[in-house]
Structure 1
Amino acid sequence: MQITWTQEQRERREKFRRFGAEQVAPGAAERDRSGTFHSDSWKALADEGFWTAHVPVEHGGEGGSLWDFLAGLEGLALGADDSGFVLTAVAHAGLVHVLLEHGTTEQKARLLPPLMSGAVGATAATEPTGGSHVAAVHTRATVHDGGRWLLSGDKSHITNAPVADILLVVGRLDGIGKRDITLFVVDRGMTGVSTGEPEDLLGQRTSPTGPIHLRNVPVTEANIVGPAGDGLTTLYSFLAFDRLMYGIVVASQLEALLPATIARTSSRQAFGTAIGNHEYVQDKVVAMRTTVEASRHLAYAAADALIRRDSSYNALASCAKLAASEGGVTSALELVQIFGHSGYDRTQGVERRLRDAVAIRIAGGTTEMQKKNIYKDVVERFATQGS
């Protein structure tokens, strides 16, 4: 499948590439060391209209397509040099996507304007007792009185949680039968909502991640996103969108590293010639480029399937995530190898790429979960053809 950006989309991509390079990239290494989220850049990103591209005009957006938003995301990832900041944007974009696809008119009118203007969103599925098995949630909304429930539970390792203003919470709803998993949207300021301190992570250190605590939070039907009891279907739609964005982000981040990589292979000498003349080194660069193209175009294919409502969407998104996460770690390892000792030196910034890459094998569903999703799709599509 071939995707051709329009002139307007190319301009948007370049606009946010420049924004990332000029606004986000400066100081990225220092923020990584201190584990600091760049809140000023987050507000500036919103002020530049990053979130408005595909939001309907009636809710304050520009009324464009999903491709318009993805063009901006690709540009931001190309220029930012701050993987954690971009990861925070991916998590935020997932909440916006859920509201656009499944929110009520009232929810869109109430929540989309702040989410487009600088508020931070988070989606909370993972709990202390489980990660990728999102159906095994214990958070529960118990009946309180007519039309009201009290939501209680704990979420862990939630991207954006320490700074989030609006939270989408996966829980169970009493009184509707066995099919009870439901999505609830709550504000940080609601009674009973609290978040913990940011976690001290190996990589993606500029993306604040931590726990959420819910203690008898009063919720009503106005807090339920999508049909009650249909939360898993809605959540899987969000996760697939999350995964295709990882494909675009990893591809862009690796592409941004190729100029410095080629400069290194051209200038570093070994055995009387530039190391780029050695086939083993060439193979490392080739693997990086292959990951760029595979991740990006699988993500494009998943986005195309999403827009067309094609059933291949979920599996293609998992393919994009798998290519990006596994290829990203391999490429980051090879990048350290190409740069040698300076690649291992924390003051040079190369090792940061490896630390950040490891997280992508876990975030948005582990590598093992992506393989499970892909295998299930293969069986469903092709098992009968061999009989």
Structure 2
Amino acid sequence: MKSTRQIYSLSRSARSYIFGSQHLAPLLCRSYAAAAPATTPKKKSVDKKPAESDSFAFNLFRGKVALSQVLPYPVKLEGEMQEHVQMIVQPAEKFFSEINDAMANDANEAVSPESIEHLKNLGAFGMLVPEEYEGAGLGNLGYARMSQIIGENDLGLGIFVGAHQSIGYKGILLYGTKEQKEKYLPDVATGRKYAAFCLTEPSSGSDASSIRCRAVPAADGTHWVLNGSKIWISNGGIAEVMTVFAQTPVKDPATGQTKDKITAFVVERGFGGVRNGPPEKKMGIKASNTAEVFFEDCKIPNENVLGEVGQGFKVAMNILNNGRFGMATTLAGTMKHCIGKAVDHATNRTQFGSKIHTYGAIQEKLARMCMLQYVTETMGYLLAANMDRGVLDYQVEAAISKIFASEAAWNVTDDAIQILGGMGYMKECGLERVMRDLRIFRIFEGTNDILRLFVALTGMQFAGGHLRELQKALQNPASNFGLLLGETAKRAGKYVGLASVDGTLSANVHPNLAKPAQLASMSIQAFGYSVEEMLVRHGKNIVDQQFLLWRVADAAIDIYGMVATIARASRSLDANSSSAVMEENIVKLWCNIASERVQRNLNVLKSAKDAENFSIMSQISQEVCELKGIPASRNPLGF
């Protein structure tokens, strides 16, 4: 009621401006047009209720604080599961310290046979597979803990193991029939057979819908015949079981028309017609096998369709979404390793008569490195915990964690090398291998460029559905007075400068974090207003505003990181954890930095100067592409 009382305390002219039809009704009618799809909807879809979700990220785009999946920080293992994970974690740490040689794996471009045998004994190939199928049955939190250990020690090995289970046979776990699970899971979970995820093609990368690999039903109707090729397939040269995506003819029962739609298949190398090229020569993750895979009249039994015919795109996207949380926890481990190297050097290296960790330039780097590691780790475990709790709408959070983790890890590793100086540049130190291995993480499983657009557009689509509901309410204001009053109150504060900060977040965190919580609440509110204004201004053409969508995504990423870390640190403070003071300081630093960056990004959305800069950037890019490079005349000497 606080906001309502503020409204009625305004002057009569202000109330007239806020409530008058000349202001609110046109705004919301334009909002409806903004949220409308590009094509004319059928009549029944106009009356469809907007989607509801408890996802923090989804509701963020409405300027709403939805905390059920964030507060209290839900990360915990209890009872038998905790004991089970600990029983695997301890041998895993011993394996990496005493047996596995990451530098040798990198030099030999393969994980050693000895390491592979130990990984099999650890159950590392079937961490998420239920025990009834010979898996370790760790759950997502257990997998997150194991992936962090792997990321701390050997990213190349991590891709070998991760591509096998995080995406390789994940489709069988998510969509497989009972018969498919019984047939394939025991072999892949134990490492008797390796798995691969075959989606990318020469003509389709992030645009998975454009694949050309094709499967057609055989004349006798007993199987499918697959032809085509896939490139850059992790484990492509060694996999015996593959999840393959291909275009298939699908008849629409309503119209009778046949159109190509993507279908997912479980393909065995033993079916015949499957071969692979030589291992690719890569910049990093050399210990993982990467190869092109060819399918020539490969016969796939009907029972090996994964999911439903024509639903392969959905299968592919859900597999990728489901596997992304492991990337954040893996790279949190990598950052921990790099920070350890940097701290060891900084506390032992003397320059100009003092240890270098006493200098502000080094202290700033170390503090930022710890902050980025903490945010990444917090996101990864939060996502894993929510998945274990059965949360379904986590795709935006998963994309956010992948973007943030891959870029944070790169920056942390770069700073670690800088702190070590010449030593960090040497191969013997090991950080140059880490940096080479890291570069791919911003590219595969959805490039960060595309995922930023996914974050922004998915969230804005959710917000747009609720704007449509509000527009419909305006057509019958008497029956929808409560809805309209709440929305009007929300807008009132914005237009007259009396916006109240939502107290929900502050009321649910430790008192020491009141200021960071206030910064996060203000950022959420400002973000919701900015999204609404963009929808109103650009309508269905919002998809073309990629310069702006990037800024929207970056703001969403920062806000999600703010709220997640506040929740985690609050739990530590409540429990009087030994790390609570450091966590509190990290969160204060992060929220100060992130909230300022959020405001800068939101300001860009309505800045004339930035709009001009984006126009200039577009022009420069077009010119250099037309010229196929930088013109020779631009050289200072003119030739």
- Is contact 1:291–1:327 with CA below 8 Å preserved after alignment? yes
Match of 2:89 in 1: 13
Q: 1:190 to 1:366 in 2, by over 3 A?
A: same
Per the TM alignment, residue 179 of structure 1 is displaced from its structure 2 partner at its CA by 5.8
- Is contact 2:198–2:243 with CA below 8 Å preserved after alignment? yes
Question: Residue type of the partner of 1:113?
Answer: P
Aligned equivalent of 2:111, options 37, 44, 55: 37
Match of 1:152 in 2: 227
Question: Residue type of the partner of 1:49?
Answer: G
SS at match of 1:204: coil
Which segments of 5 or more consecutive residues in structure 1 lack a partner in the other structure? Answer: none
Q: 1:250 to 1:221 in 2, by over 3 A?
A: same
- The structure with more strand, counted as a fraction of residues: 1
- Distance in 1, matches of 2:189 and 2:74, equals 30
Per the TM alignment, residue 188 of structure 1 is displaced from its structure 2 partner at its CA by 1.9
- Is contact 1:127–1:137 with CA below 8 Å preserved after alignment? yes
- Distance in 1, matches of 2:97 and 2:306, equals 36
- Distance in 1, matches of 2:237 and 2:136, equals 30
Is 2:390 aligned against 1:347?
no
Q: 1:320 to 1:184 in 2, by over 3 A?
A: same
- Distance in 2, matches of 1:286 and 1:279, equals 10
Q: 1:217 to 1:327 in 2, by over 3 A?
A: same
- Is contact 2:383–2:398 with CA below 8 Å preserved after alignment? yes
Q: C-alpha root-mean-square deviation of aligned residues, in Å?
A: 2.0
SS at match of 1:185: strand
Which segments of 5 or more consecutive residues in structure 2 lack a partner in the other structure? Answer: 1-72, 252-257, 468-527, 533-639
Per the TM alignment, residue 180 of structure 1 is displaced from its structure 2 partner at its CA by 1.6
- Distance in 1, matches of 2:347 and 2:136, equals 45
Match of 2:238 in 1: 163
Q: 1:266 to 1:23 in 2, by over 3 A?
A: same
Per the TM alignment, residue 102 of structure 1 is displaced from its structure 2 partner at its CA by 0.5
- Distance in 2, matches of 1:358 and 1:89, equals 18
Aligned length: 383
Per the TM alignment, residue 371 of structure 1 is displaced from its structure 2 partner at its CA by 0.8
Q: Out of 119-128 and 292-301, give the one that drifted further.
A: 292-301
- Determine which structure has greater relative contact order: mean sequence separation of CA pairs < 8 Å that are 6+ residues apart, divided by chain length: 2
Question: Residue type of the partner of 1:151?
Answer: L
- Distance in 1, matches of 2:322 and 2:194, equals 18
- Is contact 1:43–1:117 with CA below 8 Å preserved after alignment? no
SS at match of 2:427: coil
Match of 2:198 in 1: 124
TM-score (norm 2): 0.57
- Distance in 2, matches of 1:291 and 1:38, equals 32
Percent sequence identity is 25
- Within-5 A mapping of 1:227-242: 227-242=308-323
- Is contact 1:73–1:249 with CA below 8 Å preserved after alignment? yes
Q: 1:57 to 1:248 in 2, by over 3 A?
A: same
Match of 2:161 in 1: 89
Per the TM alignment, residue 376 of structure 1 is displaced from its structure 2 partner at its CA by 1.8
- Within-5 A mapping of 1:216-365: 216-365=297-446
- Distance in 1, matches of 2:321 and 2:96, equals 25
- Is contact 1:302–1:314 with CA below 8 Å preserved after alignment? no
- The structure with more helix, counted as a fraction of residues: 2
Question: Residue type of the partner of 1:379?
Answer: M
- Is contact 1:305–1:312 with CA below 8 Å preserved after alignment? no
Per the TM alignment, residue 62 of structure 1 is displaced from its structure 2 partner at its CA by 5.0
Question: 1:269-326, CA deviations, whole angstroms, 9 ceiling, x for partnerless residues?
Answer: 2222111111221222222222222222212222233334435311111111011111
SS at match of 1:106: helix
Q: Greater Rg, structure 1 or structure 2?
A: 2
Aligned equivalent of 1:4, options 76, 100, 104: 76
Per the TM alignment, residue 155 of structure 1 is displaced from its structure 2 partner at its CA by 0.4
- Distance in 2, matches of 1:166 and 1:344, equals 40
Per the TM alignment, residue 116 of structure 1 is displaced from its structure 2 partner at its CA by 1.5
SS at match of 1:3: coil
Question: Residue type of the partner of 2:242?
Answer: L
SS at match of 1:203: coil
- Is contact 1:170–1:231 with CA below 8 Å preserved after alignment? yes
Q: Out of 35-44 and 206-215, give the one that drifted further.
A: 35-44
